[in-house]
Amino acid sequence: MAYKIVIDASAALKWQFEDETEAEQAVNVLLDYKDDKVSFVVPELFYYELANAIHIAVQRERITEDDGKDIINDMLAIETTVVDSLELIRKAYINARRYKISVYDSMYFTFAADKGILLLTGDKRFFNAFKDRGKFIRWIGDYTYFSDFTKGQLSYE
């Protein structure tokens, strides 16, 4: 049975953009997904963030229009459990105000903490805002493979 991970858009996009830092670690997450070691659970906003980031990459000529379409197709082919996150919006707003981060980032953290699921992020500023406040968040740059990543590190108590 695959271990559930909440993955944010910043981590997932590293699969697609080779010039990103921590791209190798992000690909390792994807390989673990393909080996059925991990599965992804995401709040609804995940796909909107992905599409917007890809749109901006095309707009800034970081990638071509065709690349953008291919990336969208690739991302939609990855199975995720998408959950309605509307019931958490109040908590996410409060956390965003408290920690001075976006409501979008706060939604991932609030969702992971509420459900007791590990959150993997590729956004260093977001990670730094929560790393000492929550045991549910991990930096994508620390990921090697699931078996190495989880040794003695995953505690939800």
> Are 81 and 41 a contacting pair, CB within 8 Å?
yes
Q: What is the pTM of this model?
A: 0.84
Q: Position of tokens 């049975």?
A: 1
Low-confidence ranges of the chain (pLDDT < 50): 151-157
Range of the domain at 24: 3-149
* Measured distance CA(122)–CA(11) in Å, rounded: 4
| Edge-to-edge strand list for the sheet holding 118-121 | 80-83, 38-43, 3-7, 118-121, 137-139
The CATH number of whichever domain residue 123 belongs to comes to 3.40.50.1010
**Chain-wide mean pLDDT for the chain?**
87
At 93, which amino acid appears?
Y
Residue 157 lies in a domain: no
- Count of the separate structural domains present in the chain: 1
Say how many C-beta atoms besides its own lie within 10 A of residue 63's C-beta.
Answer: 18
Residue 126 in contact with residue 9, Cβ under 8 Å? Answer: no
Q: Does residue 154 lie in a domain region?
A: no
Query: What pLDDT sits at residue 154?
Result: 41
